[in-house]
Amino acid sequence: MKIAVLKEGASGESRVAATPETVKKFVALGAQMAVEAAAGAGASYADGDYAAAGADVGDRAATLAGAGIVLGVQGPDPATLAGAAPGAWIVAGLNPFGDRPRIDAYAAAGYEALAMEFMPRITRAQSMDILSSQSNLAGYKAVLDAAGVYGRAFPMMMTAAGTVSAAKVFVMGVGVAGLQAIATARRLGAQVSATDVRSATKEQILSLGAKPIFVENVAGIEGEGSGGYATEMSEEYKKAQAELVSAHIAKQDIVITTALIPGRPAPRLISDAQLATMRPGSVIVDLAVESGGNVEGAVAGEVVTRHGVRIVGHRNVAGRLPADASALFARNLYNFLSTFWDKDAGKPVLDDEIGDAVRLTKDGAVVNPRLLS
Ligand code: NAD
């Protein structure tokens, strides 16, 4: 089985879907590895290191020629895949809800598109989960991005010239990114509080030494749906949450928002009026900005100032740590394909539970139930 690793085509994407480490492991499995020249350049992985790991490094046409599996961080442009084997697997983060035309094009071209975002949240698939690995880094980087534009220090400092007080950081949405944001802000010495719609997160917040801020006594408060993901909340809950947030954020210096609901626009957590109550010089980082944004006025790809508050809306935040993000992403892909590697067939053979979850297209059609309903 030939596996092709492409140079990413999306603007601003510096990550790569395989590293010399995973190339070496794939070769040990018996795969033939081909890496497009400069594929790892943005993440500081050199062509020579891929070659030393056992890959053929060449132009795109040579890389794709006869490949049965094409690896990507983001989905490659279907028009640039000429030469791949008929029915080749495209294994990448495919943004299935946000980029439907591309998925349809993979189907029309006969490719089998496997979306790594649809990996089920089950114990045995944890090591294959790109959302977790990338969210973890994004949560960390969000705090550093906040610290970078905040004109004050995070920790309390007692100096001969007087005391600097600790920054107050509020994390909204305590999934993988939010937990890492809490831990990072704590390490930097901030006073941290956090909220989520899933009450199970209360204990996790406390265990990290932060203060839980939760809506109490409202019907339908348990916001956990299938797979541990959040569900859309009732109007009553949203009103209570808005009141709680209003009272709390006026006293915060930094807010990190991470709230997502799979397949839906991100919930709006901070309105312009709420923003206006924050102290000038405060900072908000909206990690959900590419899914519609948790914060009114956040702009994807920009840092904007409203009412004296800096709103940071970087895209692809994990990709701003390209070396580590690539290393973890590449291991997720390797863990996925190697788990199902069939020695006799010389290629991966997926089981139904994971195969049916991640497969978007097959035999010329879109087949994933989440895209058909
Ligand atoms: P996510 O990225 O989908 O959402 C981020 C957080 O925002 C979630 O905690 C969610 O509850 C919260 N949120 C949604 N709407 C909100 C609102 N209106 N107000 C406040 N918060 C809101 O979440 P995630 O990081 O992907 O994690 C989702 C779940 O999956 C968690 O329970 C996590 O522990 C679990 N998980 C399991 C595995 C596994 O078993 N393989 C791997 C990773 C995550």
Residue 221 in this model has a pLDDT that exceeds 80: no
ipTM of the complex: 0.95
pLDDT score for 261: 85
Residue among 246, 260, 271, 335 whose CB has most ligand 1 atoms within 8 A, to mutate: 260
Q: Convert the pLDDT of each residue in 44-94 to its tens digit.
A: 999 999 999 999 999 999 999 999 999 999 999 999 999 999 999 999 999
In the predicted model, what is the mean pLDDT of residues 166-170?
98
**What atom in ligand 1 is closest to the CA of residue 262?**
3
Q: Which CATH number fits domain 136-320: 3.40.50.720, 2.40.50.100, 3.40.50.300, 3.40.50.1220?
A: 3.40.50.720
Looking at the DSSP bridge assignments, the partners of residue 90 are: 70, 113
Q: Output the residue whose Cα is nearest ligand 1's atom 16.
A: 259
| 348 close to 35: Cβ distance less than 8 angstroms | no
pTM: 0.93
Residue among 171, 198, 256, 269 whose CB has most ligand 1 atoms within 8 A, to mutate: 198
Domain ranges of the chain: 2-118+321-362, 136-320
Q: Output the residue whose Cα is nearest ligand 1's atom 11.
A: 230
Q: Output the residue whose Cα is nearest ligand 1's atom 37.
A: 121
pLDDT-based confidence at residue 226 (cuts at 50, 70, 90): low
Count of alpha carbons within 13 Å of 319, Cβ hemisphere only?
18
pLDDT score for 238: 82
Q: Convert the pLDDT of each residue in 101-150 to its tens digit.
A: 999 999 999 999 999 999 999 999 999 999 999 999 999 999 999 999 99
Q: Output the residue whose Cα is nearest ligand 1's atom 4.
A: 260
| 308 close to 280: Cβ distance less than 8 angstroms | yes
Looking at the DSSP bridge assignments, the partners of residue 158 are: 163
How many angstroms separate the alpha carbon of residue 198 from the centre of ligand 1?
Answer: 8
Report the interhelical angle of 176-187 vs 130-149 (nearest 10°). 40
pLDDT score for 216: 77
How many angstroms separate the alpha carbon of residue 131 from the centre of ligand 1?
Answer: 10
In the predicted model, what is the mean pLDDT of residues 304-319?
98
Q: CA–CA separation, 315 vs 19, rounded Å? A: 23
How many angstroms separate the alpha carbon of residue 211 from the centre of ligand 1?
Answer: 18
How many angstroms separate the alpha carbon of residue 333 from the centre of ligand 1?
Answer: 21
pLDDT-based confidence at residue 283 (cuts at 50, 70, 90): very high
Q: Output the residue whose Cα is nearest ligand 1's atom 18.
A: 267
Q: Output the residue whose Cα is nearest ligand 1's atom 34.
A: 175
Euclidean distance between the first and final Cα of the chain, in Å?
Answer: 34
Same topology, domains 2-118+321-362 and 136-320? Answer is yes
Nearest to 43 by CA among 12, 22, 15: 15
Count of alpha carbons within 13 Å of 233, Cβ hemisphere only?
27
Say which amino acid occupies 162.
Answer: G
Q: CA–CA separation, 107 vs 87, rounded Å? A: 9
Residue among 171, 172, 176, 182 whose CB has most ligand 1 atoms within 8 A, to mutate: 176
Residues contacting 103, CB < 8 A, separation 6+ = 75, 94, 96, 113, 360, 361, 366, 371
Q: What token pair was written down for 68?
A: 């049965």
How many angstroms separate the alpha carbon of residue 310 from the centre of ligand 1?
Answer: 25
**Residues annotated as part of the active site:** 121, 126, 129, 132, 229
CATH number of 2-118+321-362: 3.40.50.720
Q: Output the residue whose Cα is nearest ligand 1's atom 28.
A: 229
How many angstroms separate the alpha carbon of residue 133 from the centre of ligand 1?
Answer: 13
Give DSSP secondary structure letters for 243-263. HHHHHHHTT-SEEEE----TT
Give DSSP secondary structure letters for 182-198. HHHHHHTT-EEEEE-S-
Residues contacting ligand 1 via CB (< 6 Å): 121-123, 125-126, 129, 131-132, 135, 172-178, 195-198, 228-230, 233, 258-262, 267, 269
**What atom in ligand 1 is closest to the CA of residue 174?**
9
pLDDT score for 227: 64
pLDDT score for 138: 98
